[in-house]
Structure 1
């Protein structure tokens, strides 16, 4: 059974709080919180360990560095575009034609051969395609401002869960905010891609029911000591020989956020990509 949720350090109530908003978008993302044998899953939205790891990389912290201040930040995640699940099928073989070794080692520290001999190893890795999330972190204003600058000029390459998952720009959305975490995520405009926005527009144009295209309901998750759910994704350390995770309580909710579309779009033009060109227009997306 997972350990009881580890309470986050209580921030100084007299210390000014600020919120950093990150736009996590890219062709592929993978936010795993567990791996079993030859399978690496992804959760449907960013994990706290993944977001804290991104911030630690931006700040140039080595894996053995203390991350207690980053873990103590309160996290909120908004799902602007859930994306679709991709399974990446892998096979591994020795190019010399030799049987693959197993994980166990002999007295000399060398990997033992598989028995019976195994020539091919199959793995399955899962990713989210074309997903867009807003991750907001609330904490001491000085720390948040430092992290915001680090994300704009990262010391190490940033990734969306795995090194192969490169983010698109921008990651940091403007200046830090000085408002409650829930209010910040509720007030940020919808960050979905052009195709998703145009699909939402078409629904407003042909739907007979009352519909307000200038607002949309989006799922969100917040750190909450009294939350109804738990996740085991709070990192204790990123040190290779001392990795470990504890749990946190979370609260699921819905936020009604602005889309950037006018209240009525029945005669409006489709949204376009930056520069006025929509590469998917001819496909009807």
Structure 2
């Protein structure tokens, strides 16, 4: 087994597991359906190709919250593309300034192909909605002979520089990881309806998936102990020499 890690960072993200008419919410972290959809778009898999979607949906999924971001609300207006008629006013929620590391565990050859697709995508990948493009390259690492949790533990902290400055006093950062449950963690699992079965517009379908929350500690590159020593009087010593 191998693990492909992805960097999900952008000004706005939206990862909805449910939608009720004109109210479109977002989860606090990327959903499996959203990330699988991103990979399927990059690989050029059409929405009605359920047989090609199935191997991607079978990958084990997890996500690490490196920078939780801020939930914001937008009132959305739109017009019908053909008639020009105004559509109902909708309320849409987004995550602003969030950063996540997503991981998918499975067949090495499949993950290698998906990694290549991310570098030359057939369709533009986006972070949950088309209005949410990524701000940084999506591809991080293809880990071989590692478990999903081990890969999420080994990836360096990906938070934005401005966010890291608020944690300079800590040598390590504790981050939340949300991952699919196994036989040892089923008792502590929650459920989320984000396991994709079909993306076809006429019969889009998702089923329940179990998810467990855990914590990992990663080194903080902004730690005071790791910052280079700076003494402004060093410049005076060099001038006198």
With normalisation by structure 1, the TM-score equals 0.73
Quickly say closer, same or farther: Cα 1:93–1:184, change in 2 above 3 A: closer
1:23 aligned residue: 7
1:182: Cα distance to partner? 0.7
Say which of 123, 128, 131 aligns to 2:95: 128
1:36: Cα distance to partner? 1.0
With normalisation by structure 2, the TM-score equals 0.85
Quickly say closer, same or farther: Cα 1:92–1:149, change in 2 above 3 A: closer
Quickly say closer, same or farther: Cα 1:187–1:263, change in 2 above 3 A: farther
Instruction: Report SS of the residue matched to 1:247.
Output: strand
CA distance in 1, matches of 2:223, 2:67: 20
CA contact (8 A) 2:9 2:99 kept: yes
**Structure with more of its chain in helix, by fraction:** 2
Given the alignment of the two structures, is residue 53 of structure 1 paired with residue 37 of structure 2, yes or no? yes
Larger radius of gyration: 1
1:117 aligned residue: none
Q: How does 1:148-227 map to 2 (within 5 A)?
A: 148-201=115-168, 204=169, 213-225=170-182, 226=186, 227=188
CA contact (8 A) 2:165 2:222 kept: no
CA contact (8 A) 2:3 2:142 kept: no
CA distance in 2, matches of 1:142, 1:256: 30
Given the alignment of the two structures, is residue 242 of structure 1 paired with residue 203 of structure 2, yes or no? yes
Given the alignment of the two structures, is residue 251 of structure 1 paired with residue 212 of structure 2, yes or no? yes
1:177: Cα distance to partner? 3.7
What RMSD, in angstroms, separates the aligned Cα atoms of the two structures? 2.1
Aligned residue pairs total 221
Q: How does 1:26-45 map to 2 (within 5 A)?
A: 26-45=10-29
Instruction: Report SS of the residue matched to 2:211.
Output: strand
Say which of 264, 268, 271 aligns to 2:225: 264
Say which of 138, 143, 162 aligns to 2:105: 138
Structure 2: where are the runs of 5+ without partners? 231-241
Instruction: Report SS of the residue matched to 1:186.
Output: helix
Q: How does 1:68-107 map to 2 (within 5 A)?
A: 68-91=54-77
1:215: Cα distance to partner? 1.1
Quickly say closer, same or farther: Cα 1:48–1:175, change in 2 above 3 A: closer
CA distance in 2, matches of 1:75, 1:99: 41
Quickly say closer, same or farther: Cα 1:247–1:99, change in 2 above 3 A: closer
CA contact (8 A) 1:148 1:176 kept: no
CA distance in 2, matches of 1:200, 1:262: 7
Quickly say closer, same or farther: Cα 1:30–1:99, change in 2 above 3 A: closer
1:263: Cα distance to partner? 6.2
Quickly say closer, same or farther: Cα 1:175–1:139, change in 2 above 3 A: closer
